[in-house]
Amino acid sequence: MATFTLNINGKKQEVDVDPSTPVLWVLRDHLNLVGTKYGCGIAQCGACTIHLDGTATRACMLTVSSVGNSEITTIEGLSENGDHPVQKAWLEVDVPQCGYCQAGQIMTASAFLEKNPNPTDEEIEMAMNGNICRCGTYTRIKKAVKLAAKS
Amino acid sequence: MTLVKTKIGRRSFIRNAGLASGGLVIGFNWLASCKMTPEQVNSLPKEWFELNGFLKVGDNGMVTIMSPNPEIGQNVKTSMPMIVAEELDVAWKDVIVEQAPLNTDIFTRQLAGGSQSIRQGWESLRMAGATAKHMLKEAAAQAWGVSADEITTKDGVLTHEGSGNSAGYGEMASAASSIEVPEEVQLKDNGDFSIIGTDKKNVDGKKIVTGKPLFGLDVYREGMLTAMIVHPPAFGMKFKSMNAESVKSMPGIKDVFHFEAYPDDVEKQWSDGGGIPELVAIVGNSTWECMQAKKALEVEWEEASKLESTSYHNEALAALLEKPQEVPARKDGDVEAAFKKAAKIVESTYSAPYLAHNTMEPMNFFAHVTPEKAELLGPVQTPEFLEKTLVSRLGMPAEKIDIMMTRMGGGFGRRLYGTFAVEAAVISQKMNAPVKLVYSREDDMTQGTYRPSYKVKYKAGLDKDGNLIAWHVRGAGTNDDLIFENRFPAGAVDNYLAEKHSLQTNVTTGAWRAPRSNFIAGAEQAFMDEVAEAAGKDPLEFRLELFDRAINNPVGDPEKNDYDPKRYAGVLKLVKEKANWGAETGKARGVAAYYCHNSYVAQVLELEEGSDMPRVDKITCAVDCGIVINPLAARNQIEGGMIDGIGHATYSAMTFEDGRPEQSNFDRYRLMRHSEAPKNIEVHFVDNGIDPTGLGEPSLPPAIGALANALYKATGRRYYKQPFINDKAPLVG
């Protein structure tokens, strides 16, 4: 066990965990930030996507010891009142079915749009390809990303 | 208006003191503990008045409607309360929706399965709203000294034009709660609907996009332990021994033990399906610590029955296709005689592998079992059956068992089998502590309950004019006999023979979204295309000819046929018009239609040009599911179902080597991704005012046939084996 001070959603948080613990489980089990989801544990499905210094990152394979002073943003910290343009677009298009993968989809989309504010359909698909949606909301996700890009 | 007796399910409408005083509902209301938005908090009433088990009206006119059925992404948590709100005549903006716990005294069929929630809940949901409205009107009539019949309602306001009186529901709620529950209530005419048939967004949408705790895996309780299981690595193996002691001393680990989830004396329900009888539990403080212990634990397994491989399943199913069924499932006319005089014969065999459900949220459940009571909370599609199993397994009466459903990160049939909840309860009982059981993705994908592997052989005979004179289908599946003998084209062909076999195997299987239909529709509709081609006819017109036959001169007893040929033909005609079928688009197109879960769906699917596995450019889909409650969510279900069908038929498979699953995570089990999904989807509903039928499943099965038929047009090759990505043309030269 070791103590780590993490910078999460603009707040310093101290945790005492095994250094090999992935950030996913630190968030979920130790800080009760359960918006970041467990889906595969091997960075294949994207359900656990967070921002690490603004870059979309898979929290399931990111060990707590490797984070250092980097800034972590989770779905809970993406916006104050759930009014980030991507969140608003998701609601406007009524994207979710079961909803489980959507936090990860939103985190990938929001980091992507920061870097590419006017993407083509192909660029959206390539950026989102690491996020699986088992309910098949893909067509609406693309619509929402395009809508968010406009605003 | 229709007058209906409220006697059916009448106990649902008896005011329940336990509920009104905050017993089960309030005590259990984990979901409502999620932070409310400021607007919601400000608009909360000071006092609630329960008018029946489905709803309560606040003194300010807000209405809470309980959604009785489990929510797995099929959106019943929005659409079921919409039906109550419609008959109650309350504005949708004034409605708060809560998930109801399992309560068999109030609700019937609290089950998510078979696309039946809306169809079977239709009447009771309407009665719940209409009954409460009646009581509010009676209360107003008494207060104003007028006849209740003269009072009108709209958007939560009662009005008596003659006297000029008017009041909000909130003002009458207290008085209404002591009005006698009516014997009969009037239901609205379809033409008077103002909520049903309008787009309403997902009631959990805001919580989903802001990451609020909603799902089973998100459950947290003070003092809660985490548990994981270790199950046999292969079907046919069972537990022998393990090195538990060395693992027990690992950091954060509380206990490691072998247990029987299902000892022989447990009275099992169908929902216990493929439950693994013996398991190892690892219990600790956190998920990661349990995962580490799981890696370190060495378990010795022993062979208990045959270790089966995919090659064995394929050979055994193929052998069954050569075997006649002793008594055929259905036989009209004489197929053999017809084949002898046929001008043309078409014959093809189709196959599909096992599939895992792979809900994005792996199996999990929270349980807190003490000698006094059992509290269970989590994602399960069949809470009522779970309760029955727990009564037997825990040795506790049902009154001491409380079950609450969380929102579920997908179901697809897997959560019909609440084996994981039984395991959680047994582990909690042993630990005498609150426990959350968590399956790893690997546990989830390799535990079984799969969509069966299937094979089917078709043979059709055509006369010299291209008329279908004989149809023979023989199908087989693992632990499942596949064929619906009374579905189309039964009733449309003079000589018809349907035969079916089941291969008993120890790889456990279960219902997977649109059971059986999820394979047989694609095979049948692909074969229909081959037959139409052999007949020299347009595939869509060929199908319509057959429906004409079934409408005008059905073969056999039409009551026996499990479909309505008029509605079937109706969706084909609608999709023909909407997709402009027959017009030259220059793109490869396929058509398919299917009936299941009481609904009819037809699709025209169009492919992009290019590679040997071209992408779907557009699907035009026509649906007859009767009255559409929430068109927005209905379109979402239809879209998702088609993507599900196309994705799995193209990419997915579970295979086995000596009983061991060869895929255990999304690195080797391929699911459709963004860049492979259909680019455009258009959905059209038949507007016929018939009572609503299923929506969660019916769009999936035909999509596979439409894809196969379009692939043929694009590549010149028929696709017989799923997943299609592996069904490559043989290398020539």
Residues of chain B with pLDDT under 70: 1, 5-42, 729-733
Bridge partner list, B667: none
pLDDT of residue B613: 79
Check B644 against A125: CB less than 8 A apart: no
pLDDT of residue B37: 55
ipTM over 0.90: yes
Check B214 against A133: CB less than 8 A apart: no
pLDDT of residue B13: 47
Check A30 against B675: CB less than 8 A apart: no
Check A34 against B211: CB less than 8 A apart: yes
A-chain residues within 8 Å CB-CB of B642?
136
A-chain residues within 8 Å CB-CB of B633?
94
Q: Work out the angle at residue B137's Cα, subtended by the Cα atoms of residues B134 and B139, and round it to the nearest 5 degrees.
A: 110
Residue A139 near chain B (CB below 8 Å)? yes
The B residues from 675 to 694 touching A (CB cutoff 8 Å) are: 675, 677-681
A-chain residues within 8 Å CB-CB of B673?
129, 132, 138
Which of A18, A98, A141 is nearest residue B409 as measured by Cβ atoms? Answer: A98
B-chain residues within 8 Å CB-CB of A100?
215, 359-361, 409-410
The B residues from 71 to 130 touching A (CB cutoff 8 Å) are: 72-75
B-chain residues within 8 Å CB-CB of A22?
288
A-chain residues within 8 Å CB-CB of B640?
97, 135-137
Parallel, antiparallel or unpaired: strands B364-369 and B435-438:
antiparallel
Which residue in chain A is spatially nearest to B74 when comparing CA positions? Answer: A97
CA distance A9 to chain B (A): 13
A-chain residues within 8 Å CB-CB of B251?
1, 18
Cis amide linkage into residue B698, ω under 30° from 0:
no
Check B220 against A32: CB less than 8 A apart: yes
Interface A-B, measured as beta-carbon pairs within 8 A, has a size of: 191
Q: Work out the angle at residue B77's Cα, subtended by the Cα atoms of residues B73 and B79, and round it to the nearest 5 degrees.
A: 100
Rounded to 10 deg, the angle between the B631-651 and B517-535 helix axes is 80
Check A129 against B440: CB less than 8 A apart: no
B-chain residues within 8 Å CB-CB of A138?
643, 672-674, 677
B-chain residues within 8 Å CB-CB of A122?
675
On whether the CB atoms of residues B232 and B276 are closer than 8 A, the answer is yes
Residue A87 near chain B (CB below 8 Å)? yes
Check A96 against B209: CB less than 8 A apart: yes
On whether the CB atoms of residues A86 and A113 are closer than 8 A, the answer is yes
Instruction: Please say whether the dihedral angle defined by the alpha carbons of residues B199, A104, B669 and A24, taken in this order, is positive or negative.
Output: negative
Check A25 against B72: CB less than 8 A apart: no
CA distance A69 to chain B (A): 23
CA distance B644 to chain A (A): 6
The A residues from 52 to 71 touching B (CB cutoff 8 Å) are: none
CA distance B664 to chain A (A): 10
Check B666 against A136: CB less than 8 A apart: no
**3-state DSSP call for residue B499?**
strand
On whether the CB atoms of residues B652 and A111 are closer than 8 A, the answer is no
Cα B364 versus chain centre, distance? 18
pTM over 0.90: yes
B-chain residues within 8 Å CB-CB of A96?
73, 202, 204-205, 208-209
pLDDT of residue B118: 87
**Residue A10's CB: how many other CB atoms inside 10 A?**
9
CA distance B77 to chain A (A): 11
Tokens of A88: 């608003």
CA distance B489 to chain A (A): 30
**3-state DSSP call for residue B622?**
strand
Which of A29, A75, A124 is nearest residue B210 as measured by Cβ atoms? Answer: A75
The B residues from 311 to 370 touching A (CB cutoff 8 Å) are: 358-362
Instruction: Please say whether the dihedral angle defined by the alpha carbons of residues A14, A18, A21 and A24, taken in this order, is positive or negative.
Output: negative
B-chain residues within 8 Å CB-CB of A25?
286-288
pLDDT of residue B731: 63
Q: Where are the alpha helices (DSSP H) in B242-356?
A: 244-248, 287-296, 310-320, 335-341
User: What distance in Å separates the CA atoms of residue B211 and residue A105, rounded to the nearest whole number?
Assistant: 12
The B residues from 236 to 265 touching A (CB cutoff 8 Å) are: 251
Q: How would you class B611 by CB atoms within 10 Å of its CB: exposed for 0-12, middle for 13-18, buried for 19 or more?
A: exposed
Which of B206, B208, B675 is nearest residue A129 as measured by Cβ atoms? Answer: B675
On whether the CB atoms of residues B132 and B52 are closer than 8 A, the answer is yes
Quickly list DSSP for B30-79: TGGGSPPPHHHHHT--S-EEEEETTEEEETTS-EEEEE-S--SSS-HHHH
Tokens of B544: 């319509």
Dihedral, A40, A42, A43, A48 alpha carbons, nearest 10 = 50
User: What distance in Å separates the CA atoms of residue B139 and residue B109, rounded to the nearest whole number?
Assistant: 31
Rounded to 10 deg, the angle between the B700-715 and B517-535 helix axes is 40
Q: Where are the alpha helices (DSSP H) in B145-182?
A: 169-176
The mean pLDDT of A45-55, rounded to a whole number, is: 98
**3-state DSSP call for residue B319?**
helix
